[in-house]
Structure 1
């Protein structure tokens, strides 16, 4: 019998060890979740946009390099005149270069470069947005998880009291309504647990969408308290600034139509003739040209367009002014958000301190009431009230703890930093 009990005990220990070990294997840390989320499909969209703007810049740059064209022409004429040729075959190679275009080239390249810079900042900003969202979900899940644990402990204590009251009822030492009230309290606790579980599952579903990872368990990680952290400009602000500048360069391109354009081309052609009328006439010392090189310098300038270019420029500048006004507003908003984030940290610290005091007081009160209840000095109403206050104090503490971590995350976000760099 002793050997059996010993073997059974060893098996239980092994089972517990495996459960704990497997939980640690499948548990996800905050840093892992953020890194996984920053590889999701939404981030890929911004990567493609960045790639697109980069290629647009390179394509624009290449379009202003000298262009080389080759071609061939085959011409048949019937009937051909007496001096003409019935068949003309030609091949050519042509080099074309834009020498002057009224500064359109420079402004177009600057526009594309600024759009590429804006895309780079958009990519960085979406990663930081995702980091904040993951961190908020993560700490809310931790809060709910702690609440569920507290409620389960409460249920265990209520079940113990229920068994005691049932024994008392059988011994006719208590009434049936006392038993029914504790049963109702247990049922209400079950209801609260299920609500919390559903809320946890909702957050887990959101986290799964962001990370494409099945959330089984969460590893405990915290965010480092921000100390002497100087705020820097947000990537969203930098992106908007680059967009404002790109629109300015777009407006200058419209102005370039009022300046001269100079294009240089050099075309070399080779000809071959069939059914040649000149040869039939037999005119001496007269031959057709078999090869020819033509250099062309084309200068053009628009003198009058009924104000079309200037009106188009005014339209683009209006768009720039609108975006610039939005940029000014966003900068003010960011400054206020940083102030609010600092106040949120101060508030969260005060709430955490208050909740610690409340939890300590409710725990001590519960212990006293619990002893009196066992000694039947106080009734079940006082006991349930003390237990309820204890659970609520624990929940307040958990919420305050999570709120402090979220306030740290929001400060780093509003200060222009990626939260994943400040996780411990």
Structure 2
């Protein structure tokens, strides 16, 4: 009995399968009921060396749909950045139009095609600051993706070690059930001999049924752990192999969510600089081609011109004037300067609003940086406390095993009653569960420290 708790710990740490020998007369429950109960536990399989390790799960988590969505967000930000950079280059536009005019004075058909090159030489620094804004948003999206990955890894680790904590509790309850079942026939014989009351026998049966109920709940929790791991990693999780996380180094790096927020704050500052009263200067060159079709004047035009006749050189119906109005080719080179002179302080208020938005982001950033410093201290302390809990739980387990061994001897000698025996049994199995859970909690605290201190979790995972 003394080393039973240590055996349980060894099983859960190294993945060694543990079996229990059933005594032929260990329970008064008939074979069909016993088989039915174990069939209900068929979804449980002990961890083996063939199961998925933590590194396998984290590798699978890289294919999580949330991460793939973040990858798409990075591509979008990169495209927006490239689009802003291309605003420095000139543009070339082409157009074509056909008009068939029929009014009171004439009928006319025209074809017009044109090419227009435009280059914004100076945009009031708007394009320059737009590129800087889009670059910051691109860097922010990269950092946001990295932070999402670390959060995902942390969730995987919590579910992974949560599974082994539940497994420890399940095995402890199974040991408790077998220990209780082994006493049923003994209590029955004592009851038939008049040496004990029906209360002890029925209490024992009730404890067995309650333990089976608790086992079923723990099996459900283990199944939930595996389903959550499947969701997070896009893997089919059946068996798991337990490994430890390397001891983290105590240093703080800038966390990825802080980097993302920092870059978003910069982007708002650059956005504010795009709101300006500075002038824009552009150079343009337009070349157009006109084709004048059939032009016919109507009598109303002659009357309007005082009978000048359609054949006159300056008649609106004549070709000379129309050719002047629609030259076959034309090239126009121009320089334009645009500047907002007054808009009732509209741009000023826009700029002011963006400055307040940037100031708000800076305050949020300062809070996040301060929060990380506190988090690093908190989770470093949590790691130290988790180590102390392991030592305390180990000592409690040793004491509980020694105590139960003595209580069991006195109970078999009928010195102690069934209530004392049951209390000692519960203390022993609770100590076993607490010890194994403290080992798993210690691993979770390692991962939490790594995340909140800004280090990469994957660097500390054993391959």
TM-score bucket of the superposed structures, by smaller chain: 0.7 to 0.9
1:110 partnered with 2:132? yes
Residue in 1 that maps onto 2:74: 50
1:351 partnered with 2:373? no
Within 5 A, what are the aligned runs for 1:14-413? 24=48, 27-78=51-102, 86-227=108-249, 229-255=250-276, 258-275=277-294, 281=312, 289-413=327-451
The superposition leaves residues 92-135 of structure 1 with CA deviations (integer Å, 9 ceiling, x where unpaired) of: 21211111111001011111111111111111101111111111
Residue in 2 that maps onto 1:10: none
Structure 2 CA distance for partners of 1:63 and 1:412, relative to 1, 3 Å: same
In the TM superposition, residue 64 of structure 1 has moved relative to its aligned partner by: 3.5
Structure 2 CA distance for partners of 1:32 and 1:332, relative to 1, 3 Å: same
| TM-score of the superposed pair, with normalisation by structure 1 | 0.87
Shifted more, 36-45 versus 239-248: the winner is 36-45
**Helix, strand or coil: the match of 1:72?**
strand
Aligned residues of 1:134 and 1:207 also touching (Cα < 8 A): yes
In the TM superposition, residue 341 of structure 1 has moved relative to its aligned partner by: 0.6
Count of equivalent residues: 401
The superposition leaves residues 279-320 of structure 1 with CA deviations (integer Å, 9 ceiling, x where unpaired) of: 96579x967532221111111111111111111100111111
Shifted more, 25-34 versus 311-320: the winner is 25-34
Q: Higher helix fraction: Structure 1 or Structure 2?
A: 1
Q: How many Å separate the matches in 1 of 2:404 and 2:215?
A: 21
Q: How many Å separate the matches in 2 of 1:318 and 1:252?
A: 13
Q: Which runs of 5+ in 1 are unaligned?
A: 1-18
Q: How many Å separate the matches in 2 of 1:196 and 1:20?
A: 10
Residue in 1 that maps onto 2:5: none
**Helix, strand or coil: the match of 2:291?**
strand
Aligned residues of 1:96 and 1:265 also touching (Cα < 8 A): yes
Aligned residues of 2:386 and 2:445 also touching (Cα < 8 A): yes
**Helix, strand or coil: the match of 1:220?**
coil
Residue in 2 that maps onto 1:6: none
| TM-score of the superposed pair, with normalisation by structure 2 | 0.80
Q: How many Å separate the matches in 2 of 1:332 and 1:169?
A: 68
Shifted more, 319-328 versus 209-218: the winner is 209-218
Q: How many Å separate the matches in 1 of 2:166 and 2:101?
A: 89
Residue in 1 that maps onto 2:8: none
